[in-house]
Amino acid sequence: MKGGAGAVGAVLLCAVLFGTTGTTQALAPEGATSLSIASARLVVGGLALLAVLPLLGGHPREVLPLWRTPSGVAAGVFAALYQVCFFAAVAQTGVAVGTLVTIGLGPVLAGLLALLLLGERATGVWLAATGLCLAGLVLLVGGGEGGGQIDPLGVGLALVSAAAYAGYTVIAKRQLDGGHRPATVMASAFGLGGLVLVPVLLTQPTGWLAAPSGVALALYLGLVTITLGYLLFVRGLSRLPAGPVTTLMLAEPVVATLLGVSVLDERLSLLSAVGVGLLLLGLLLQGLGSRGTADAAAPDGALPEEATARIGA
């Protein structure tokens, strides 16, 4: 498998894992709150990322220099902020609106930050793919039967969540371009984010974690969707510009929707089905463009220095 195809595949597989979180939470034990699940997810996943560093040729102490920098601290705070604000937004304004604002604006904000901070250039492929994905996301979310009440506080929380997601993505890209090990970059951000959320977890109902199903839930969300998920994410981010990576991550709501239909017996309206189609078309466009970009920029497996100068193919 060529490097570009591998990078695209890694990001898409990460999105698939992320797309399972909603269905997993819907099957959570009684008494589990959204905030307690989000906190447990990041605490388990972040600490696991630190623990597996030796297996990946690194050491947990490698994160300490990053934690001593403003950008390293910001990445950890952004990782925690994304979790807390997203789940709070969903609780406040509903899944539809919270998801649309957070996941829809993430690629746009990441692209703008990459333009301003990393010197990347917007290209036609990225603009077209992101436009298709955003249009598809609007139809996917708006085509449901129970679209969520618009709540100003909830929308504000979703905006903060989207900004935090874009923030740690761009910081991670800069750290990778600075020569830091990919696993160390993720362990730094999410390990620190997990430590930040330990006090939050302790303020939430944690009785559900004593049940076998609760333990299984926390381990799956932490080890699979955070630890494995973000190792795949950073694999793609080390070879692709930040903008296309976040656009490819829009595969997440497609997976979440398909799981909702197949596992939770949710209905998919015609508009939602059209939205899924547009999302898949946008992902295909971005995937083909990104594969070419990464292959051209780093044919021998090196970090794509040239690719960091543009968003898309």
User: Could you read off the pLDDT of 63-97 as tens digits, one per residue?
Assistant: 999 999 999 999 999 999 998 888 788 777 766 66
pLDDT at 186: 92
Of 23-32, 158-167, 279-288, 295-304, the poorest mean pLDDT is in: 295-304
Question: pLDDT tens digits for 161-220?
Answer: 989 988 988 899 889 888 899 999 999 999 999 999 999 999 999 999 999 999 999 999
Residue 152's pLDDT is 82
Closest Cα partner for 204 from 190, 214, 219?
A: 214
* Reported confidence tier of residue 293, pLDDT bands at 50, 70, 90: low
Amino acid 97: pLDDT:
67
Secondary structure, 3-state, 29-71? CCCCCHHHHHHHHHHHHHHHHHHCHHHHCCCHHHHHHHHCCHH
More confident residue, 119 or 213: 213
* CA–CA gap between residue 236 and residue 306 (Å, rounded): 15
Per-residue model confidence as pLDDT tens digits over 246-279: 788 878 877 877 777 777 776 777 887 888 888 8
Whether 294 has a pLDDT exceeding 70, the answer reads no
Q: Is the pLDDT of residue 309 over 60?
A: no
Q: Give mean pLDDT, residues 1-20.
A: 83
pLDDT at position 162 is 87
Of the ranges 23-27, 143-147, 188-192, 265-269, the best mean pLDDT one: 188-192
Task: Name the residue ranges covered by the structural domains of the chain.
Answer: 3-309
